[in-house]
Amino acid sequence: MPERADITYFGAGPALLPTDVLETAAASLVNFNGTGLGLAEHSHRSQLASNIVNEAKKDLATYLDVPDDYDILFMQGGGSGEFSATVYNLVAVWVERRKQRILKDLGVEDNKQLPENVIKELQKAVDEELKIDYLVTGSWSLKASQEAARLIGPEHVNVAADAREVNGGKFGKIPEESTWKLSKNPAMVYYCDNETVDGVEFPRFPAVLAPKGVDEPIVVADMSSNILSRRVPIKNFSVIFFGAQKNLGSTGVTVVVIKKSLLPPTVANAEPSLVRKLGIPNGPIVLQYSTIAKNNSLYNTLSIFDVFIAGQVLKKSLNTFPNKVDGQQALSEKKANLIYAALDAHPESYKVVPDKSVRSRMNICFRVTHLESGIDDSEKTFLEGSVGVGLTGLKGHRSVGGIRASNYNSISLEGAEKLAKYIEEFAAKPRK
């Protein structure tokens, strides 16, 4: 049986965790800091739990240089839960802002009992103007747009860009920004910064979404699979969310970085009867950002153990890279370049799936064409051989097949070098 040190695991998630972090976490499960109780047994209402949450928030803000006018929330429900949460919360923000504009235009004071003419104007605005924009560049952004259509109706969802339209019906490119059909003043513009299934990553923040002053777009990004791997222009975003299980920690915690200006009560929690009258969705309270922020992420029973693991990963990263995320970015790019170079050196044996301009540093997706008997046999042989040399978790997503090497932060440079070497050696074998 192989030992942990013998394996380099390239699975897409839950991802590899640093061994020393796991050892610290394992000890804390039995007796945390001499309390006689394991960390999973301590109350989330305890000062101990609050300290763990606050320390993890502080370290994440330090590592990513999160500005003071943003809050950090620890939630549950994963990225899929945030597909819904962003709709619930930001549609409510849009309606609240639209209500305030109507009140100003009509010269009416804001109070609990809105006049019928205000409600009528607000209903008209919802029916005719409410839009959420989605940039669909892969499987996860597609699922996000579909969830929005389910919650508020397809008439309110605008797919501003669909990568399949410029890539023969498949994902693998990002359409030129000049072709995006963005709405006027949408409730939000959503995109997935890195698509794990399709190996597509935005090379940079889209220029067309840059802040423009008073009417700046509300930009939401799913960074579940590339957060902590490169510098993020936080100020350009209104909301960033990410599941912990790729680069931050273990499954069970979802992080939201949000502008504090979006947190005051909106019609969703201040006027639920108006929400019902307008026909917009009012989601579960555990997905309500203002409620979670008000309770410092401890409104309901948060998994403090998983927050602790995330905090330990952050401390390790801060100790490893004096220049914080910039150091990790340099390493991530070096590892990805090594693997892509090995693939590109053998076009007769491998085909990288996404276009070169949008290749993901985190999820390297490719097909193996080495054997004359066909791709399926070639990839089966490739995977069998990789396990034999301690490289595991390389099978592609079930929906697309192929090979996928997930090059998350926990993959060492030596692990990336080992994979690049195997890619070279497999290509050098005689074709059958």
Encoded tokens for 107: 């010269």
Can you give the pLDDT at residue 377?
Answer: 87
Structure tokens at 194: 């890195």
Residue 408 and residue 389: Cα distance in Å, rounded? 20
What CA–CA distance (Å, rounded) separates 278 from 122?
Answer: 8
* Other residues' Cβ atoms within 10 Å of the Cβ of residue 112: 8
- Start-end of CATH 3.90.1150.10 domains in the chain: 325-428
| pLDDT of amino acid 216 | 79
Listing DSSP states for 241-275 in one string gives: EEETTTTTS-TT-EEEEEEGGG-S--HHHH-HHHH
CA atoms within 13 A of residue 7's CA, in its CB half-sphere = 16
Q: 214, 303 in Cβ contact below 8 A? A: no
For residue 432, what pLDDT is reported?
A: 65
Residue 320 belongs to what H/E stretch?
helix 304-320
CATH number 3.90.1150.10 given to 55-307? no
From first to last of the 432 residues of the chain, give the pLDDT tens digit: 789 999 999 999 999 999 999 999 999 999 999 999 999 999 999 999 999 999 999 999 999 999 999 999 999 999 999 999 999 999 999 999 999 999 999 999 887 788 999 999 999 999 999 999 999 999 999 999 999 999 999 999 999 999 999 999 999 999 999 999 999 999 999 999 999 999 999 999 999 999 987 667 999 999 999 999 999 999 999 999 999 999 999 999 999 999 999 999 888 888 888 999 999 999 999 999 999 999 999 999 999 999 999 999 999 999 999 999 999 999 999 999 999 999 999 999 999 999 999 999 999 999 999 776 677 789 999 999 999 999 999 999 999 999 999 999 999 999 999 999 999 999 999 876
Q: Are strands 157-162 and 70-75 parallel, antiparallel or unpaired?
A: unpaired
- Whether a cis peptide bond, with omega within 30° of 0, leads into 211 is no
Quick check: 196 and 245 in contact, CB under 8 A?
no
Instruction: Considering the domain delimited by 325-428, tell me its CATH architecture.
Output: Alpha-Beta Complex (3.90)
CA angle in degrees (0–180, nearest 5) for 125-276-254: 95
- Strands (E) across 152-249 are located at 157-162, 188-192, 194-195, 200-201, 219-222, 239-243
CA 220 to chain CA centroid, Å, is 10
pLDDT computed for residue 373 by the predictor: 67
- What's the pLDDT at 212? 84
